[in-house]
Amino acid sequence: MTMLPQTPAKKLGLVIDLDICVGCHACAVNCKEWNTGGYGNALSDQDPYGAEPSGTWLNRIHSFEAIPMDDAGKAVPSDARIVHFPKSCLHCDDAPCVTVCPTGASYKRAEDGIVLVNEDHCIGCGLCAWACAYGAREMDEAAGVMKKCTLCVDRIYNDNLPEEDRVPACVRSCPANARHFGDLADPQSEVSVMVAERGGVDLMPEQGNRPVNKYLPPRPKTASCQSGAQDEAPNLVKLAQENTSSAQGGFLGWLDTALSRL
Amino acid sequence: MHPAKSVIFFTTISGAGFGLIALLSLALSFGMAQFDIGLFTAAIFAIVLSSAGLISSTFHLGNPQRAWRAFSQYQSSWLSREGVLSVLTLGCFVLWLGSAYLAGQAPVWIGVLVAFLCALTIFATAMIYAQLKPVPRWHSHLTPACYLGFAMSSGMILYALVTPEDMASGQIAMASLSLAWGVKLLWWQRADKTGRDADGSTLATATGLTGYAELKLFEAPHLTKNYLMKEMVFEIGRKHATKLRYISLGLGFVLPFILLVLAGFFSAPVILCALPAFGFHMAGLFVERWLFFAEAEHVVALYYGK
């Protein structure tokens, strides 16, 4: 049924911390691994060992270069930072991918707000992917059906798994703890508190989709990391010189160091 | 956006078919044309055109055997509404045609209803694209206006072809051609001013990384093209867009218009003019529709630094 539920009782979703994501792509790889054997058809690859490999992924990591500006609004290129940006379905409250679906294959669950595709009903017209501003849906070229993040619906309610594994695969695999899973409808939940404290944001709010997933913006750089605080730098250089000046290398170098320490 | 041949064929051909169905129904209902073998052939041709378009639209599906399921979600989906309306329209037209054939006369109100359903079907087809907010060029009332205009112009050229003795139909065809391309010029004018950022979407809003002096893609998630890039970051069309617009105008408007003028004012044989006029018009529309898709920009391209 492609009518959206009024207000889902729960809004399960992800909170992604752009401050600490290290861009390792482990979440994307574990997502592919879990979901190719889990819910629905396998996530196929085309020409996997050839010159132009492509395939279906439900999670992709883009990396951006962000140059901050100073108080006067001028760019400070020396403070440029890399922000790794994982992107998957945001399980929007007003999900246009659901309402455009002609078959009812695309739906949003009333009980927890998860947006899913019933792959037995999907005709593979691709209109939902066009309706999504975020590029969260990818057609599987082998199965001819639309694939998307299921929020690992086959993990989070799975009593056969140990409790710590009942979270989406991407959250479980993140080595930096940059991904968090929870109920964003509950203001007391860990994820909601995190969003409130860190000023979590919606992606493309102007598109009017009201995404459930939130992104925590990178924290401002600490004073000692900024290019203004350069008094630390010469000390480091001096220290390095001191430590290396005596290093002649080889046996004599070792002898020099060892005798100096006496 | 990726211009799938089946969808280009579907939107143009079924538009012409439903345009002709609407005109035949109205003309016969109000006694502006007589029901003879020529008109009957035209009616069959109109059914063939619109059905061919609808069938071709299933060719780009991943699982066309399940296409029947697309009739179920008319409450929310324009694509589903389009399917339901087209079958309903064709059904009503066939019934109406049958009763006209058997009884010699068919109820006027059914003819008017069929014409109205034709307009609704074409409107629904256009809304499949016009509803998409992430493609700002399409997201406009001018999009259904264009689709309706071109359905009318292609239907009208065909109608002029089957009513050679009727001077007015050729003139109405000329008028509808001018009207349709006039709306298209307005559409192009708006499209040129409507970038991907028309609703305020930028890389900053797309990533939530606001307040930076500069933000650019440092490393894409994958080295080769994926579905999203093939489907929604299609860039070939923009290179020759201006030339292609002139080609579509020349084929779709100038040539058919000249041919209709020759038939209407210089008593050239209608069949020798209206038939190639229809061919040129459709060729022009194929180019126009190819551009409609190929030139359209989707906001998802922002994530790929485009």
Residue A27 contacts residue A59 (beta carbons within 8 Å): yes
For B126-141, how does the pLDDT look when each residue is reduced to its tens digit (9 = 90+)? 999 999 999 999 999 9
Confidence grade of residue B73 (pLDDT, cut at 50, 70, 90): very high
Q: How far apart are CA B85 and CA B124, in angstroms?
A: 8
For B171-230, how does the pLDDT look when each residue is reduced to its tens digit (9 = 90+)? 999 999 999 999 999 999 999 999 889 999 999 999 999 999 999 999 999 999 999 999
Size of interface A-B (CB pairs under 8 A): 208
pLDDT score of B164: 82
Q: Find all residues with CB under 8 Å of B131, minimum gap 6, and list them.
A: A100, A131, B78, B139
Q: How far apart are CA B122 and CA B148, in angstroms?
A: 6
Pick A223 or B34 by higher pLDDT: B34
Q: Find all residues with CB under 8 Å of B39, minimum gap 6, and list them.
A: B24, B28, B33, B162
From residue B163, alpha-carbon distances to A71, B37, B40, B112, B168 in Å are 74, 12, 12, 20, 9
- Annotated domain spans of chain A: 12-222, 232-261
Nearest CA in chain A to B218: A64
Which runs of E-coded beta strand occur in A165-221?
179-183, 214-216
Indicate yes or no: CB of B206 within 8 angstroms of CB of A55.
no
> Could you tell me the pTM of the whole model?
0.90
Indicate yes or no: CB of A76 within 8 angstroms of CB of B1.
no
Q: How far is A227 from chain B (nearest CA, A)?
A: 16
CB contacts, 8 Å: B3 with chain A:
none
For A43-66, how does the pLDDT look when each residue is reduced to its tens digit (9 = 90+)? 999 999 999 999 999 999 999 999
Task: Please state, for a pLDDT cut of 90, what percent of chain B lies above it.
Answer: 72
For B8-21, how does the pLDDT look when each residue is reduced to its tens digit (9 = 90+)? 999 999 999 999 99
Q: How far apart are CA B246 and CA B92, in angstroms?
A: 39
pLDDT score of B52: 93
CATH, range A12-222:
3.30.70.20
Half-sphere exposure of B106 (CA within 13 A, CB side): 25
For A69-83, how does the pLDDT look when each residue is reduced to its tens digit (9 = 90+)? 988 989 999 889 999
For A186-206, how does the pLDDT look when each residue is reduced to its tens digit (9 = 90+)? 999 999 999 999 999 999 999
Token pair in block for residue A228: 């203004």
Instruction: Check whether A230 has a pLDDT greater than 60.
Output: no
Give the number of residues written for chain A.
262
Indicate yes or no: CB of A144 within 8 angstroms of CB of B133.
no
pLDDT score of A245: 54
Strand ranges across the sheet with A60-68: A81-87, A60-68, B212-219
Instruction: Check whether A9 has a pLDDT greater than 70.
Output: yes
Using only C-alpha atoms, what is the Rg of chain B?
21
- B5-304 fold: Formate dehydrogenase/DMSO reductase fold (1.20.1630)
Indicate yes or no: CB of B134 within 8 angstroms of CB of A82.
no
Confidence grade of residue B91 (pLDDT, cut at 50, 70, 90): very high
Task: Please state, for a pLDDT cut of 70, what percent of chain B lies above it.
Answer: 99
CB contacts, 8 Å: A18 with chain B:
207-209
Instruction: Check whether A211 has a pLDDT greater than 70.
Output: yes
Indicate yes or no: CB of B205 within 8 angstroms of CB of A28.
no
User: Which of B226, B233, B297, B304 to probe the A interface (max A CBs under 10 A)?
Assistant: B226
Indicate yes or no: CB of B62 within 8 angstroms of CB of A139.
yes
CB contacts, 8 Å: A1 with chain B:
73
